[in-house]
Homo-oligomer: A and B are copies of this chain.
Amino acid sequence: MKLIYQGKTKDVYSLDHNQVLLKFKDDVTGTDGVFDPGANTVGLTIDGAGKSGLKMTKHFFELLKSQGVNSHYVSADIEEVSMVVKEAETFGKGLEVICRYRAVGSFLRRYGAYCEEGQPLDSFVEITIKDDERGDPTISEDALVMLGILNNQDYQTIKELTKTICNAIKVELASKNLELYDIKLEFGRDKATGEIMLIDEISGGNMRVYQDGKYIAPLDLEKIFLG
């Protein structure tokens, strides 16, 4: 297996047949040693973080598969802390698609003049470009189209897919008395078919989840949700 990319929280190895293997690491993003899923730097290493994230990811990708959602997921090996996925082409240098159910985080920091902290939001979707250096700025449909990153049809497809996927995740979490406040997805194009599909991972590190009004940290979330 040839290592083709070292990410902040995953290493990527090439496989045959348009597939790659993602090896989840115990490195988590954060700032000054404090875990922060939204941060762009590796903040610290937590034993078991990779396996915990993979368990969640496997659970959600299999749930979504059962609901007919197209994703890059092929199989997961929890003991090896690895996942086989279909190879994808990103849009531009990569996009992050956020779906918000309550006003917290950067949404509140930007639009606090027009909303209260924790106010319900109507499955609000926004896209940011992956650009650590420029702080992952938000980008509008018009700008995505003008800069040749997405066309209007792809934008609408991704927006609708995001609402469908995040709603399924929200409902699943709610079955354990957990409330999804916001979540970040990534999409790519299947290298073999050209179809838009959900990529990356779906774990505590990509979402804000609360229980009885209290924020649940990613590793605790996995224990509560799958334990």
Contact = CB atoms under 8 A, between A and B. Distances in A.
- Count copies of this chain in the complex: 2
A141 B148 CA distance: 20
Contacts of A93: 113-114
In this complex, the member of A113, A121, A125 whose beta carbon has the largest number of chain B beta carbons within 10 angstroms is: A113
B110 A137 contact: yes
Interface in A178-224: none
Given A113-B131, A129-B113, A140 B137 contact: no
Interface in A99-149: 109-115, 121-122, 124-126, 129, 131, 133-134, 137-143, 146-149
B112 A134 contact: yes
A109 B133 CA distance: 10
A48 interface: no
A163 to B, nearest CB: 11
Nearest to A125: B142
A139 B111 contact: yes
Given A142-B125, A143-B124, A92 B110 contact: no
Given A121-B146, A140-B126, A134 B113 contact: yes
